Each structure stands twice: as C-alpha cells, then as structure tokens.
Structure 1
Amino acid sequence: MFKGNIVALITPMNKKEKICLKSLRNIINYHIYNQTKAIVSLGTTGESSTFTHQEHIKLVLLTIKLSQNKIPIIAGTGANSTKEAVLLTQKFEKSGISACLSVTPYYNKPSQEGLYQHFKTISENTNIPQILYNVPSRTGCDLLPQTIYKLSKLKNIIGIKEASGNLSRLNQIKYLVDKNFLIFSGDDSTSLDFMQLGGNGIISVTANIAAKEMSKICQLSLSGDFSQARKINKKLIKLHNILFLESNPIPIKWAAYKLGLIKYNTLRLPMTQPSKKLRKIISTELKKKKIYTTKKNNIFNLFKKK
C-alpha cells in the first residue's frame, strides 16, 4: 500500500496559527480523490519543527480521523533525541497509524554507530512500521548504505525516504537490502529517474498541488511505462525546481494558497512569507499550467459538506 505517490502534506493553519480544520479536511479528500497512496502528516513539509508535542499528536490523530480509513496516514516522529523520538512514536500505538517516518537526528551529527543505535532503539520500543528518512542537507548527517542495510534487518524497519539527491545511492542501497525493503525518493525533480532505477515511489512536495499528475507518473513508472510518465513529468519539471527556490514549505504553501487549496497562507516563525520575486515566479508558472486546481473550481467546492 506504500508504493507510488505519497504526499508530504502541508499543515493548513488559520490566521492565529491554529489548525484550519476545513482546509485539512478538504486537502485530505483531495488526495483521496486523486489516488495518492498515503499521507505523511507532520514531516518537514508539515512544519513539524514548529509544533509542540501536544499539537503534533493532536494533528496526526485528527488527520487519521478525517481520513476515515480511506488513505493510509504516516506520522512524522523523528527527533534529535532518541528518547524523544521513542516517546513520540509510542503515542501513536493503537491509533490506526500505518507507519512512522523518522528523520535522522539533526544538529547532533551522530556517527554511523550512533545512527544505528538511535533507530534500533526506536524499533525495539514500538510495533509500528518505521520508514527511515535521510536528508543530509537539513540534518547535517548522512545515513550510509551499510548502516541502512543493518537497520533493514530489524523487525519493523520497512523502508527509507532517501533525500540525498544522489541517484547512485539508490543502487548502493538496493544491492544490500532485501527486495521487499521500500526505497522512496525524497526529491521531486529526480523522482522519475529514481523510480526508473528501481525505486518504489516518491514522498512528494509537488503532490500537494499536483496530486493527480504525481499519482499518474508513479502509476506509469511502477508499471514500466516510463515513456508516458516522462511526458507528464516534463510538464512539472520547472515547478519541481521552483518549489525549492526558498526553504520548504514556503513555496508550496504559497502555491496551495494561490490555487485555493488552503484558506490562509499561514506559516510559523522562523518560516516567513515568500519574497515578492518568488510569488511572481510561482503565480506565473501556475497560470501557464491548466492541470492544477483553480479558485474557480477549487477543492472546497468539490468536497463541500452537504
């Protein structure tokens, strides 16, 4: 159930920086409607680093409830303290969560042995399936293939989101791990090449506003039709890059707001509004494309409660 297009969901908030329930309900329905395979709640794109533990737990549980068992929910539960990561993960035991996404400890710069012991400790203290998350550009440490291999042997570590941007890393990991170990791209711009090399899908930022297209690209790729997948992906290449001109989730949240997918473009400090230059670039690109949801026929109209 985890193969294909998985969205790293933005967290819609109102002007008071509280969860916007209406927006959350509707973007979940948007992904169900467009055949997104799973939702990651409160990963990097969801602004997890600015949420308290209490808010974090509340939002994930709310996302599970609103999904009504129609789409798997994966909770972001990573932390740079192993004890904190364990406690956060344990909060979702028996919650209906499908898996947890656990980022490598940031700032600490642990050794490979430290990384192994960190994830091993989490694994030993939960029954929830765990997906590792390697994003060296943000965390300051790199989970290497040999360490991933060792971790893949543990009882409930089922895969990895590999966001180093290094395509050769995929082959290095695949050579070592069992064929059932899932390997997801964490980089939209190279995700098609990643799947062509044998990856199982993408945990995507772009899917927040182009869920239908990202789902189709993954569906075609996983069935071996890379020619058709590349035709669709060609329309998204520029957008993939634009959405990372400033720190994620600043660009994607602005784009979702412009398209009417969320009611307010609220971010928590230290995340700030996009620059005027970036707003213009995003708006221009969205106007050029006719494949996205528009305010005239937006998600709020499509899923308006009766």
Structure 2
Amino acid sequence: MTLTGLFVPLITPFDADGAVALDSLEALARRMLESGAAGLVALGTTGEPSSLTEAERQAVIDIAIRVCPEYDAKLLVGAGTPQALEGLRGRGEVDAALTVVPPFVRPGEDGAVAYLTQLAAESPVPLVIYHVPYRTGQTLSASALAQLGSLPGVIGVKYAAGLTEDAIELMADLPTHFAVLGGDDLFISPLLALGAHGGILASAHLATAQFATLIDAWRTGDIATARPLGHRLAALSKALFAEPNPTVIKAALHTQGLIPTPAVRLPLLPAGDRSLTTAVARAEAL
C-alpha cells in the first residue's frame, strides 16, 4: 500500500458546553472527503488529542472509522506509544498509525530509530512516521528516515521539517513503497515538486479541493496549474499558522458556520481577531 493524495488531520470541534461536537465532526469529515481528500487523520496534533479524555478519543476514532469506508478513503490514527498502538488492534478500518518521533527526551538519532523500529515490529497496523523536529526536539537525517522506510512495518513519513538538504536527499532515493507526505503546510508545493506523494495538511480544512488539486497537478506535471496555486495556498497556510495550530483554523471554520464554536482547550488560547480576519481574507481570495 502506497499512500498518495491529500490527508486532512481533523480538528476536534467543541460545543457551547465544551463537549466534543460529534455531529459537527462527522459532518466535517464528510465535507473533507467529498471535496477531494483521499483520507483523514484522526487524533493528529491538530485534533488536540492530549486534551481529550480516553472516551472522547475513542469517539473520534469511531466516527472516522464509520465515515472513511463510505468514501473508500484511507484512515490514519495518531498513536505514538505501545499502548496507543495496541488499542488499534482489531480495527481493520485503520490503515496506519501516525507515530511521532519520540518527543522531549531527545534520545539521539540512533535511539529514535531503535525505538521506532521496535514500535513498527510490535504494532498491529503499519506506521507513518511523523517527523516534526521543531516540536519533538529530535531531528532525523535522510539516511535515518530511509532506514526506517525500509522496514516492512513502516509505509511512510509525514515530513514536517521544512525544505532542507535532508528533504532533497530523501526524495532523491526513496525506499520502495515508502510514501513522503508533506506535513509543513507552507512548504507543501516545493516538496511536491520534488516528488512527494501527497500531504497531511491542516490548512486543507479551509481549501480542501484546492489542496487536492495542487497535489494532483504536481503529480501529473501540470506546472501551469501547480505553481500559481501553490503560491496562493502558501499564503493561506501562513495566515492559518499565525497562531498555534489549530486555533486560527477553528476560528475560520466557526466563521463559516461549519463548527459550533471556535473553542480550543488549554493550554491553547483562542485565536485573535486580526489573525482570523487575515485567514478568512486569504481563503476568500482563492
């Protein structure tokens, strides 16, 4: 299985009482898939999983498991520990786990590779490695990612390390059946130009069809479409990430009437009016 196309890492909407708005989440999931997404990510960092209870996390997964098969869409679930991965056993609708490079500990590259290798060997589902060094504090070189990509239990990487020499080196010599999915929204267009298979893009909540078109355009060589569209979507992504993710995205979705409130849970704070105004203007300009 090679993952391709657009994956939307779903936000978790909250209602006026602060509970997870499950009906809105399901409607949003359907909207993303109907607008061109190839799959969804449940409980990615955009979904604020660390602020959800275990029951809430399971409810989010249940909705994604119900919706994705109806659209023949792929489903990734954020799971970065042996316990979280074991919780996916028997859930055949889950195509892979999105597993972050071990954060905070900074075990060094060899330690991170050893840890992820063990997780891949024991996981009931394939892994997509989430490489986001500005959050984890741990970088992985192109050779380390290629080593992980050669494992039978690893099928891809969410590459959120910007556009670096390592990104270019990795794209030049990919392991077979190892998908590179761009995860740094601002740099998705140049990464696709280098040959990335798709993207896991929070910004696509506001422009799902356009991001799907961008991915298809680069993969089919339609540069005349891809280049100007990439510039416009980069401007949108910059606006949506002006404050901690997913605060601006939630505010914009609420403004559009797609979720009941713009609420986030601590330690996040709601986005400011200026960021919201800029993001909405960028979205309308598309």
Q: TM-score, normalised by structure 2?
A: 0.93
Structure 2 partner of 1:6: 7
5 Å-filtered alignment, 1:1-306, equals 2-70=3-71, 71-78=73-80, 85-95=81-91, 96-286=93-283, 288-289=284-285
Residues in 1 aligned to 2:70 and 2:125: alpha-carbon distance in whole angstroms: 17
Equivalent position amino acid for 2:129 in 1: L
Report deviation, 1:88.
Answer: 0.4
Distance, in Å, in 2 between the alignment partners of 1:224 and 1:239 is 23
- The structural deviation recorded for 1:72 is 1.6
- Alignment-mate amino acid for residue 223 of structure 2: F
What secondary structure is seen at the aligned counterpart in 2 of 1:169?
Answer: helix
Contact 1:4 1:222 (8 Å CA) reproduced: no
- Structure 1 stretch displaced more, 102-111 or 52-61: 52-61
Question: Which one-letter code corresponds to 1:90 in the other structure?
Answer: E
Superposed CA deviations along residues 243-295 of structure 1, whole A, max 9, x for unmatched, are 11111111111111111221211211011111232233234434x43x5xxxx
Describe the shift of the 1:186–1:25 C-alpha distance in structure 2 as closer, same or farther (beyond 3 A).
Answer: same
CA contact (8 A) 1:42 1:76 kept: yes
Deviations 1:197-230 (A, max 9, x none): 1111111111111101011111111111122122
Q: Give 1:176 deviation, angstroms.
A: 4.4
**Distance of 2:226 and 2:118 partners within structure 1:** 40
Q: Identify the range of structure 1 (45-54 vs 220-229) with the bigger mean alpha-carbon deviation.
A: 45-54
Distance 1:111 1:234, change over 3 A: closer
Q: Name the CA shift for 1:36/1:114 in 2 (closer, same or farther; >3 Å).
A: same
Residue 285 to residue 173, structure 1, CA distance change in 2 (3 Å): closer
AA partner of residue 49 (structure 1): S
For residues 257 and 180 of structure 1, the distance between their equivalents in structure 2, rounded to whole angstroms, comes to 38
C-alpha contact 1:127 1:156 (8 A) present in aligned 2: no
Residue 59 of structure 1: how far off its partner (Å): 1.5
Tell me, yes or no, if the aligned pair for 1:135 and 1:163 is still in contact at 8 Å.
yes
Q: Which runs of 5+ in 2 are unaligned?
A: none
Deviations 1:112-145 (Å, cap 9, x if unpaired)? 1211121112111123111001111111111222
TM-score (norm 1): 0.87
Question: What is the root-mean-square deviation in Å for CA atoms of aligned residues?
Answer: 1.7
Q: Which moved more, 1:244-253 or 1:173-182?
A: 173-182
- Contact 1:161/1:184 (<8 A) preserved: yes
The farther-off stretch of 230-239 and 152-161 is: 230-239
Kindly indicate whether the alpha-carbon contact (under 8 Å) linking 2:26 and 2:63 is maintained by their aligned counterparts in 1: no
Alpha-carbon spacing, 1:241–1:44, altered in 2? closer, same or farther (3 Å): same
1:52 Cα offset (Å):
3.2
Query: Contact 1:104 / 1:135 at 8 angstroms: preserved in 2?
Result: yes
Contact 1:2 1:38 in 2 (8 A): no
Q: Structure 1 residues 180 and 5, CA, compared in 2 at 3 Å: closer, same or farther?
A: same
